[in-house]
Amino acid sequence: MGLLVRKLNSLGTLTAAEHRLLCDHPLVVRDVGPDQDLVREGDEPVHCLLLLEGFACRNKSLRDGRRQILAFNIPGDFVDLCSYLTQPMDHSISTLTQVKVGTIPHGTIADWTERFPNLCRLLWRDTLIDAAINREWMVNVGRRSAYQRIAHILCEMAVRLHAVGLAQDYSCDLPITQGELADATGLSTVHVNRVIQELRGDGLIALNGRSFTALDWEGLKRAADFDPLYLNQLAAARGHSGQVI
């Protein structure tokens, strides 16, 4: 539960009792391979999933097979906390890589939130930040050019991975294919490929296989019109770890 404690502490302050509660909770861990659905649209899960290792994504598919990726999930993310209060699922959660997930029964969350209003607020806030990321993605897909979209999503991943210690010196492991990037940005795979080459040509990024480096962080941010405010609103407002990169 260390990851969860760390995450919630970045959103506010856990009391000692809450800290103990979470640390004492025995987490059931499950291993899942790449390209599997952790939860499927229409499911009515009875527990929430905490992503401990690996990458996943939130996505919705149309009947004709096209799909939209709504968010990338990284270690520490409470992947489907929303299933605690909204059923059935209106979207799926799929793994991108091999992952480890912890499962927490809805009953446990109900118990926690009734007894600890502060913890409840932190969990609620976590879902609100997910929503904020969604909003930013919507602007991305609706109003930015292909070049800006890709740059923006790369900026976001760099900041978020840095925040959980999975990026150093502007580089990180990014096991996301160009096809997945296309589904996340509302573009075609072919066009994503061309844009990435343009970004490479402009000296902004290095991206080969699973490894990503922002060669010119400031330039990339400028190209993307990136403002990390939406990612960690409270932390930033309180002057905490905030501006990580």
Binding interface with a second copy (CB under 8 A): 44, 58, 60, 62-63, 66-68, 70, 82, 85-88, 90-91, 113-114, 117, 120-121, 124-125, 127-132, 134-139, 141-144, 185-186, 225, 229-230, 233-234, 237
* Residue 236 lies near DNA (rule: CB under 7 A): no
| Chain centroid, CA 205 distance in Å | 21
Which residue, 103 or 178, is less far from DNA as judged by CB? 178
Return d(Cα 12, Cα 132) in angstroms, integer: 17
Min separation Cβ 242 and a second copy, Å: 13
Q: Does 190 bind DNA (CB under 7 A)?
A: yes
Q: How big is the site for DNA, counted in residues (CB under 7 A)? A: 17
Helix axes 16-24, 2-11, angle to 10 degrees: 150
E strands, 146-231, in order: 167-168, 171-173, 205-208, 211-214
Confirm or reject binding of residue 188 to DNA (CB under 7 A). Answer: yes
| Closest distance to DNA from the beta carbon of 222 (Å) | 18
Q: Which stretch binds DNA (CB under 7 A): 101-109, 115-123, 177-185, 232-240?
A: 177-185
Query: Given the DSSP bridges, would you call strands 99-105 and 47-53 parallel, antiparallel or unpaired?
Result: antiparallel
- In the complex, least distance from residue 129 CB atom to DNA, rounded to whole angstroms: 27
- Does 189 bind DNA (CB under 7 A)? Our answer is yes
Q: How far is the CB of 100 from a second copy (least distance, A)?
A: 25
Q: Is 91 helix (H, G, I), strand (E, B) or coil?
A: coil
Residues 60-119 that bind DNA (CB under 7 A): none
What angle, 0 to 180 degrees and rounded to 10, lies between the N-to-C axes of helices 146-163 and 117-143? Answer: 160
Q: Could you tell me the sign of the dihedral formed by the alpha carbons of 157, 158, 159, 160, in that order?
A: positive
Q: Are 244 and 159 in contact (CB under 8 A)?
A: yes
Rounded distance between C-alpha atoms, residue 170 and residue 213, angstroms: 6
Least spacing, CB of residue 98 vs a second copy, in Å: 26
Q: How far is the CB of 90 from a second copy (least distance, A)?
A: 4
Residue 4 tokens, joined: 């969860």
By C-beta, is 120 or 206 nearer to a second copy? 120
User: Going by C-beta distance under 8 Å and a sequence separation of 6 or more, which residues neighbour residue 43?
Assistant: 83, 88, 89
| Residue 124, both tokens | 């609620």
Residue number with CB closer to DNA (74 or 196): 196
On whether the CB atoms of residues 173 and 211 are closer than 8 A, the answer is yes
Q: Which stretch binds DNA (CB under 7 A): 126-134, 157-165, 171-179, 216-224?
A: 171-179
- In the list DNA, a second copy, none, the entry touching 137 (Cβ below 5 to 8 angstroms by class) is a second copy
For binding to DNA (CB under 7 A), which residues are involved? 145-147, 177-179, 186-191, 193-194, 196-197, 209
